[in-house]
Amino acid sequence: MKYDLVLLHAPSVYDFRENALLAGPISDVVPSSPVFEMYPIGLTSIAEYLERQGLRVKIINIANRMLMDESFDVEKKLKKIKTRAFGIDLHWLPHAHGSIELAKIVKNLHPQTPIVFGGLSATYYHKELIEYPFIDFVMRGDSTEKLMLLLIKYLKYGTHQLGGIPNLTWKDGDTPVYNPLSHVPDSLDEFDIPGYRYTIKSVFKYKNFLDPLPYNGWLQYPNTAILTAKGCTQGCLICGGSKQSYKDNCNRKVLAKRSPEKLIEDILFIQRFSRAPIFILHDIRQAGKEYVDEFFERLSEINLKNELVFELFQYANEAFFEKIEKAVSKYSIELTLETHDEKIRRFNGKFNCTNAKVIETLQAALKHSCKKIDIFFMVGIPHQDYQSALDNVDFCEEIQNACGDKRLSYFVAPLAPFLDPASPAFENPEKYGYKKFCHTIEDHRKAITQPSWKYMLSFETDYMTRDEIVQSTYESAKKLNAFKLKHGLVDKKTHDEVNEKIARSLEYIEKIDQIVSLPEAEKNRQLALLSKEMEEVNKYSICGKHELKWEVKKHYANIFSLTAIGLELLAEDIVINVRQRFNAYNKRIAEASKSRT
């Protein structure tokens, strides 16, 4: 079988199965493991859009296949593939090593097949990426579905000219060419984002159940999401997805929205195969009051079976939660406060309100039937010193005393491993209190392979060194763990397991500090000995394994529903293909008749 495009997702560090890395808490508060095996949702929307145009597209989550099976042979898998092009995402910068190493392997196996990079980090570093001899194209921007269609049609039929494809970075011989970044759509309704229809259909169409799985454990806990918008209205200093960052990196000046009607369609489709919570990506209020009102009005008209999880960027009043309560039978919220310090929050841009307003937001949510509230604090943000990081837990105590409710969950995590490229803090580090250790893509590639997350950190601040960021993260986590036990938010077993992992992590940090100064051969030998030992502390190293999970009645995807939907979508494909061929045949007959006349 020959494909038109095969999309690959790499692990953060390609040879993670061989090298010892203490990733620590850098992935504790995301669904992925330290391998960062969850691929960006843009892969599915590209695949779905191209298949809708009659092309054959396959997604292979290489990272997850490697994680699930220690004997999985990447080169053997890739060598068999026949395709017109390979696409590799570099959306999140922690994939800087894995994505580039994977591209080398692919080009070695398929020297004549073009390799395309894409994603926010690829967009930022497109001029560096195109200099690699094994990377042929970089597709820039945040919405590249139509552009990928133009590129694949060029490779397949010779139609279009490379110079006429917007957002494309390519090579004219050995000379890099940077086409204008001019394709910036302001609506997302034309695309499936995420493309769950494609993902399910592809399992049956391409006869492989494992390749497109989003992350390890998805079948047991099938988290899903819907995307409300691309771009942002907020100006957070440390976020590569902030308003200014999108403007500078993607030429996005206005929010690109997915209409409430389309969001409801997405929800209805998801609940056909999953009863797990659906995460509403981004604060839905960014799109305005009319948008929010229409969404909840439409939501109240359907038989909603899944829990919804809403994200908050700023203070929310009681009226907002009243709307949710009327429309949704079960919902939770997430908010990243980052810090208890009101001045720092105002400076950084996230939840720039008083602490009294924060508590008021939480109380309003709890009053109006919110099932669970996750509150996140961060270590390593601008103007935060060591004591300020620890004081976050005191604010947790204040919140808990004011709300007196076990539906509240608290988390702390470091800003790690990298500062986001294109974020204000990355672009103007001295202005915002940072010292950068990594500047180029190669800097980040080297950093992510360091043996502990302390050495992976691409920065330190005016207030804390890398050592202090690491130490205050673990000390904050231990203090928070004690707070949770005191208020009955975790049981004694979970508390003791977390404390043990923190203690072991600190021991490994110290051991690695001693090992890195050894001669190279001895250093590698000592790190190899630590490798297996460190595997366990890389998983939920500063919080309980199940603390971030929402309760669902069925902790697995409905296999029977997946099969039925997959077969149904394949049947729809057949009908569409027959219709397209029939129309094309009629068009040729009409043209032939016209020419004879």
Token pair for 327: 């429309």
- Residue 211: predicted pLDDT: 93
CA dist 62 → 13, 88, 288, 367, 447 (Å) = 12, 10, 39, 45, 22
Place of tokens 């309100």: 353
305 burial type by CB count under 10 A (0-12 exposed, 13-18 middle, 19+ buried) = middle
Rounded-to-integer distance, Cα 434 and Cα 446, Å = 20
Q: What does the block give as tokens for 586?
A: 């009629």
Question: Alpha-carbon distance 392 to 342, whole Å?
Answer: 11
- Quick check: 288 and 264 in contact, CB under 8 A? no
Are 367 and 407 in contact, with CB atoms under 8 Å apart?
A: no
Q: Closest Cα to residue 282, out of 219, 327, 239, 343?
A: 239
Residues 6+ apart with CB under 8 A from 34: 12, 16, 21, 23, 26, 27, 538, 539
The DSSP call for residue 544 is: -
Which residues are CB-contacts of 495 (< 8 A; sequence separation ≥ 6)?
A: 481, 482, 484, 485
Pairwise CA distance, residues 267 & 263, whole Å:
6
**pTM for the complete prediction?**
0.91
| Tokens representing residue 503 in the block | 């203690």
CA distance 20 to 451: 6
Percent above pLDDT 90 for the chain: 77
* Sign of CA pseudo-dihedral 218, 223, 229, 232: negative
Confidence at residue 115, expressed as pLDDT on a 0 to 100 scale = 98
Residue type present at position 219 = L
- 3-state SS, 475-542, equals HHHHHHHHHHHHCCCCCHHHHHHHHHHHHHHHHHHHHHHHHCCCCHHHHHHHHHHHHHHHCHHHCCCC
Strand order of the β-sheet with 168-172 is 57-61, 5-9, 86-89, 115-118, 137-139, 168-172, 175-178
Low-confidence ranges of the chain (pLDDT < 50): 555
Q: How far apart are CA 94 and CA 253, in angstroms?
A: 26
Tens of pLDDT, residues 302-344: 999 999 999 999 999 999 999 999 999 999 999 999 999 999 9
> Do residues 386 and 472 touch, judged by C-beta distance below 8 A?
yes
CB 311 within 8 A of CB 258: no
List Cα–Cα distances, 110 to 84, 173, 202, 439, in angstroms.
10, 19, 23, 31
Q: In angstroms, rounded to a whole number, what is the distance separating the alpha carbons of residues 150 and 314?
A: 40
Is 501 in contact with 473 (CB distance < 8 Å)?
Answer: no
Q: What is the Cα–Cα distance from 522 to 512, expressed in whole angstroms?
A: 12
The answer to whether the CB of 33 falls within 8 A of the CB of 27 is: yes
Residue 334: beta bridge partners? 311, 374
DSSP track, 371-392: -EEEEEEEES-TT--HHHHHHH
Answer whether the bond into residue 194 is a cis peptide, omega within 30°: yes
- Secondary structure of 8-33 in HEC code, one letter for each residue: EECCCCCCCCCCCCECHHHHCCCCCC
**β-strands 278-281, 224-227: how paired?**
parallel
| Terminal C-alpha separation, the chain | 42
Is there a cis peptide before residue 417, judged by omega within 30 degrees of 0? yes
